[in-house]
Chains A and B, each alone.
Chain A
């Protein structure tokens, strides 16, 4: 099983600031990496697939980068609606796995 490790567990950021979230895979997943946003009481929402391709309707302030084992999700200027939990997911292997999540909270 490929283990996905996200850091930090919690990120405190002021509105308008930049947020950088990390996701590391225990072995290479090529570019088969997705990022999701989840707000309380809601289903996850796909933000990024293929490590760097924004999903339909996702604002340009969200960007993804990386390949192999190291990945980053950047939110360039945090808006109030961006405070949420973010998960990475690898789908390179038949057994897909999620990271444990990073909570982005208001500083």
Chain B
């Protein structure tokens, strides 16, 4: 069965960076990509970007361009999302989700809470 397991809760200070991991199992890793989606407290879903696990191609949301980097590691079937120069409004639950190219997200990780506070 397909599973995506994310890393644990993070607390960061403004200006710091965070790197969230997403370990996949139950399918051929390189056949899909990953979308990253975040959700601020009490708010809706925000698409952050997508990465191909086949060739590393990425698409990032313009508002995050320059601060976000998505990567994959095929040796460990793990996807990563790094966000830099953190601000208080980056406080959110961050989700990884399996997604094909220009496709919906059919399996989701459990979410990782990132809190940015001084």
Contact = CB atoms under 8 A, between A and B. Distances in A.
A83 interface: no
Using C-beta atoms within 8 Å of the partner chain, give the interface range for chain A: 20 to 34
Interface in A1-50: 1, 32, 34, 36, 38, 43-46, 49-50
B17 interface: no
- The contact size tier of chain B is 20 to 34
A5 to B, nearest CB: 12
Interface of A: 1, 32, 34, 36, 38, 43-46, 49-50, 55-56, 87, 89, 91-92, 94-101
Interface of A is mostly: loop
Contacts of B99: 91
B109 interface: yes
Interface string B78-118: 00000000000000000101010011111111110000000
